[in-house]
Copies of this chain bind each other. A is one copy, B any other.
């Protein structure tokens, strides 16, 4: 058995710390104003290729139920936001209370529904990832749970130069952690900072 895979989390936040704007809904999952957070990826992708590749490099992903379906119970036919070929191309473990059989999508993505908590999700994701990393892909509450439990090794913040003023904050309710900035790089629409996290 090889070394345990590294656990990473990539999050784009506003300069005032929000990862989603106000009034998130199933028709506006990012909340008001928050599409500007992701300009760096969609309008300036080439300049940010290393960081974009880093996000897509994981061997397995873990997401919260809101990230998969938004707030509220989901319809049994709901297949996520991303169409038939989601960008993960790897197993995705969805934290939820709704039991459901795995959902096999095109291009290598399978959504697996985990109803027994974050530790179990991580164990399953590690098994699926092999030697590659496991990425905690959001939303805020899920990342907060993993950070508070000391389960994230590397936090990669992508700080967009916008002020949202309201919405969901990434770091609310997270206890102080030992964070060490290990790499920083800037482009036009974003500042990338990688932090090594020690509980």
Contact = CB atoms under 8 A, between A and B. Distances in A.
Interface of A: 15-17, 33, 157, 159, 161-165, 169, 171-177, 179-181, 183-188, 190-191, 193, 195
B186 A184 contact: yes
15 contacts: A15-B171, A15-B179, A16-B17, A16-B171, A161-B180, A163-B174, A163-B175, A163-B179, A164-B176, A165-B173, A181-B188, A181-B190, A181-B191, A184-B185, A184-B191
Of A165, A180, A184, most B-chain CB atoms within 10 Å: A184
Copies of this chain, complex-wide, total: 2
Contact of A161 (B174, B181, B183, B191): B181
Contacts of A15: 157, 171, 179
Of A15, A180, A181, A187, most B-chain CB atoms within 10 Å: A15
The 9 closest A-B pairs by CB, nearest first: A184-B186, A161-B179, A16-B171, A17-B17, A163-B176, A181-B186, A184-B191, A191-B193, A161-B181
B165 A176 contact: yes
B162 A176 contact: yes
A179 B186 CA distance: 13
Contacts of A185: 184
Contacts of A164: 176
